[in-house]
């Protein structure tokens, strides 16, 4: 299991290799219809006392086309020594494998992404021998996927978007649609993508929102109830009993989400939540609680643009 946000940001390409197609399209790089993607050894050590490792290294084989080596590096802050390492990686894998390398740097903050996007020159300032210009994905060019249809169309990239924007004020909206989209995927994709999201969000506030979404069962609360639970409800309960269960469940989830997010709940707001008998209203309050900054925001419509 991936165990750090830094690792997750690049290992997402290992776990879901198809992610490279969305990344390339976002960077306006032509992508053939099909490709065979293989994770290969990321060890680029040449001299024993000095070990060097690319974060993630993939081989991209296109039918009737060239084969590329995709180096994915996760960068958390500007580092003046890093461009020299990147240049070494590119030269080494080009010589070792005899195929053209492509360097993709993924960042979780705008400052680092803009730093990594600039050309790095090696050699004399007026006549550099090497100019290194990485491809970069970060908050400045990765879209915030807050639309369900878009998330469902490319769930792995929706996960990548959530990780990239984990410090963004809109993280709750991104995670909300991601959770919904995950429910419509197969078990394997759901497991991989849920794990990547959980580890990639690290200790950001977004991680607390994601844990709450998982713990409170957003999938069933938003209407995406597992088939087994639907069948059980049909067999066991009367309509009235199910309605009471939805209300009780809704109250618990709204109050739990506010608690986890550290939002104070005055007595009158708490009373209003706990005495509500309309499950649709509780659904609405739960949605608003994902991004609300005060308990009162649950009860008022957001301002229109």
- Same domain, residue pair 11 and 126: yes
Residue 180 CB partners (closer than 8 Å, separation 6+):
148, 151, 152, 218, 219, 222, 224
- Same domain, residue pair 190 and 221: no
Domain boundary among the residues 90, 114, 137 is at 137
Q: Give the span between the Cα atoms of 145 and 170, in whole angstroms.
A: 10
Q: For a pLDDT cut of 70, what percent of the chain falls above it? A: 81
- Same domain, residue pair 289 and 253: yes
Q: With bands split at pLDDT 50, 70 and 90, how would you rate the model's confidence at 3?
A: low
- Same domain, residue pair 35 and 127: yes
Domain boundary among the residues 103, 137, 171 is at 137
Comparison of pLDDT for 180 and 9, the residue scoring more: 180
254, pLDDT greater than 90: no
104, pLDDT greater than 70: yes
- Same domain, residue pair 42 and 163: no
Q: For tokens 């609300």, what's the residue?
A: 292
- pLDDT at residue number 230: 39
Comparison of pLDDT for 159 and 194, the residue scoring more: 159
The domain total for the chain is 3
Of 40-54, 79-93, 184-198, minimum mean pLDDT range:
40-54
Comparison of pLDDT for 238 and 146, the residue scoring more: 146
- Same domain, residue pair 50 and 69: yes
Nearest to 104 by CA among 71, 67, 131, 148: 71
- Same domain, residue pair 278 and 199: no
- Same domain, residue pair 107 and 44: yes
How confident is the model over 215-245, as pLDDT tens digits? Answer: 765 444 333 333 333 334 444 444 455 566 6
Q: With bands split at pLDDT 50, 70 and 90, how would you rate the model's confidence at 124?
A: confident
- Same domain, residue pair 27 and 115: yes
Of 82-86, 193-197, 301-305, minimum mean pLDDT range:
301-305
Domain boundary among the residues 172, 194, 210 is at 210
Beta bridge partners of 104: 72, 135
Range of the domain at 170: 144-210
- Same domain, residue pair 246 and 289: yes
Beta bridge partners of 71: 57, 103
Tokens of 65: 């086309």
- Same domain, residue pair 74 and 192: no
DSSP string, 144-194: ----HHHHHH-HHHHHHHHHHTTTSTTHHHHHHHHHHHHHTS-HHHHHHHH
- pLDDT at residue number 6: 65
- Same domain, residue pair 233 and 267: yes
């Amino acid at each position: 299991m991936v165990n750090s946000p830094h690792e997750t940001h690049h290992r997402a390409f290992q776990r879901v290799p198809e992610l490279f197609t969305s990344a390339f399209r976002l960077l306006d790089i032509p992508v053939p219809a099909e490709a065979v993607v293989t994770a290969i050894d990321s060890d680029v050590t040449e001299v024993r006392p000095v070990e060097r490792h690319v974060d993630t290294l993939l081989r991209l084989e296109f039918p009737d086309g060239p084969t590329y080596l995709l180096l994915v590096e996760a960068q958390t802050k500007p580092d003046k020594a890093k461009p020299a390492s990147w240049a070494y990686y590119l030269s080494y894998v080009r010589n070792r494998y005899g195929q053209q390398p492509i360097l993709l740097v993924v960042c979780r903050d705008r400052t680092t992404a803009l730093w990594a996007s600039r050309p790095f020159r090696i050699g004399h300032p007026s006549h550099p021998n090497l100019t290194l210009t990485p491809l970069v994905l970060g908050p400045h060019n990765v879209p915030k996927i807050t639309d369900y249809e878009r998330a469902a169309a490319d769930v792995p990239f929706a996960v990548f978007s959530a990780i990239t924007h984990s410090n963004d004020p809109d993280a709750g909206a991104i995670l909300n649609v991601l959770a919904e989209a995950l429910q419509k995927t197969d078990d394997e994709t759901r497991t991989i993508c849920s794990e990547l999201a959980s580890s990639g969000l690290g200790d950001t506030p977004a991680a607390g929102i994601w844990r709450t979404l998982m713990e409170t069962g957003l999938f069933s609360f938003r209407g995406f109830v597992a088939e087994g639970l639907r069948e059980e409800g049909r067999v066991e309960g009367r309509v009235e009993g199910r309605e009471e269960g939805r209300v009780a469940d809704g109250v618990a989830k709204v109050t739990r989400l506010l608690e986890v997010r550290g939002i104070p709940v005055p007595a009158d707001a708490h009373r209003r939540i706990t005495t509500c008998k309309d499950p649709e209203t509780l659904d609405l309050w739960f949605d608003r609680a994902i991004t609300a900054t005060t308990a009162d925001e649950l009860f008022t419509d957001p301002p229109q643009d």
